[in-house]
Each structure stands twice: as structure tokens, then as C-alpha cells.
Amino acid sequence: MIGRPLNRPIRDWRRLRVWVIGASSGIGAGLAQALWARGARVAVSARRGDELAQLAAAHGTSALALPLDVTDAQAVQPALDRIVEAWGGVDLAVLCAGTHQPVRAWELEAGAARRLIDINLNGVIHCLPPLVARLLRQGGGGIAVVSSVAGYAGLPTSLVYGASKAALNNLAETLYLDLAPRGIGVYLVCPGFVKTPLTDRNEFPMPALISVEAAAQAMIRGFERGDFEIDFPKRFTRLLKCLRLLPYRWYFALVRRGTGL
């Protein structure tokens, strides 16, 4: 019904079992810290095991550090099994493993493009079969797909990155249509510019740049409201959504003027 949350709002994080994939730095690490502060149990995964261990060390039995390379489809199920063995299940999985490399059309290299797609898009797809099967067996839980406002429309330097995020937007929408009737929450997270090691690679002004901590708080508020799309900061995401409604002639001209690219 119009007006009702699209997902069941999360009222209390205490003892909830959350798996953050892509948590060694950036938004994932910030989200994990914010959730521990709210009393959640958080399993953190990424390729860099040493950083995961440091992140989890201060949180005792409320933390699990599970090294995972999302490009290895066979590695996801054993990691999930460890969470189930330790905590009996998972209530929310946040899929935010990803990478970014600014690319212009004349710099495009097929091998680098494949690697980016393998992490940003295939990495999410690799996580879905075991997660969906687990949540259906449990009869509840949720999956959050972390995309980007770069998936809304074409932007300079986002040649392959934006395409991978546009695919994630479509993927999350279809997941919702399939899983919501079965009691499984689905969230699409679309951050604007967040100060992380990845955005430090950008050589252009980043409007409405926010901190990792602010991004984590925005995500948590979205989960608590039961939103499907969690986009932030609104002053930037609303502008991009409005621009996307314009005819291409106007859209291209305004993006060129706004970015200088």
C-alpha cells in the first residue's frame, strides 16, 4: 500500500546479526563501527584479513572477521556457514565490496574493465545464491546492495564504474520484486560522494562530499525507516534525479557545465 515502508523497519539493533561484506575500509568499515555501537553483532568480510582483524578486535564475541574475496564464488558459502555456526543465522547482509577507477573513453582497457565488473557486479551476484537460500530457510532477514548515484545516469570518468552500478540498481529492483512477497527485505543504497580511499582518486570537485561516519548514519536511518532506496546526501541525489528527467540535449549540456569535463 502507498505510504507504508517497503521493508520492515528495524526498530532495535541489539543482538541483530549483520554481515558487512567490503568492510576493511570506507563505508563498510564505518557502518560496522556504527552498528557495533548500537549493540549489533557484526561479521566483517573483505580481502584484507589483517585490517579485518584489527577492526573486529575490540568487539569480542559481537564480532567475526571473515576474510573473503567476492570474485571467488565458491568462497561465499563457507563464510556464511561460519556466521550461522557462530550465531545461528544472519538478519541483514550489506554487500558493499567494490572498487572505482576513473576512466575516460580514450583510456578504456578491457582487462581493467573486466576486473572492475568482476568485483562490483559479479561480486554481488556471487553472494546472492547462498544468502537468498539462507534467508528463505530462516523465513526473514534482508539484503542491502550498495550501489552509487553513478548508476542513475552517465557521468564523466565513470565509464565502467557507472555501468556496473546501473546494473546493481536494476538487480536490486528485481530482487525486491522477487523477495519482498516472501518476507525478505531488500535495500538499494546509493551514496553520493563519500570521502574514502576510492574517491581520493578523483581529480575533480566532488559536490556535497560527506564523511564515512555521515554515510553510515544515513544508511542506518534508511534501514530503520524500512526504505527500499537509501540515497544520500539528499541535496545531491535529488539534483541528479531531477537532471535525469531532462531531455538528453539539456542533460549532457548541464553535466558538462557542472563538471567541466
User: Which residues are catalytically annotated?
Assistant: 161
* C-alpha grid cell, residue 165: 552500478
Q: Rounded to whole angstroms, how far apart are CA atoms 257 and 261?
A: 8
Q: Give residue for cell 549489533.
A: 40
DSSP letter for 8, please: -
Under 8 Å between Cβ of 216 and 227: no
Q: Rounded to whole angstroms, how far apart are CA atoms 55 and 36?
A: 11
Q: DSSP labels for 127-146?
A: HHHHHHHHHHHHT-EEEEEE
Q: How many CB atoms lie within 10 A of CB 14?
A: 8
The torsion angles phi and psi of 65, rounded to 5 degrees, stand at -105, 115
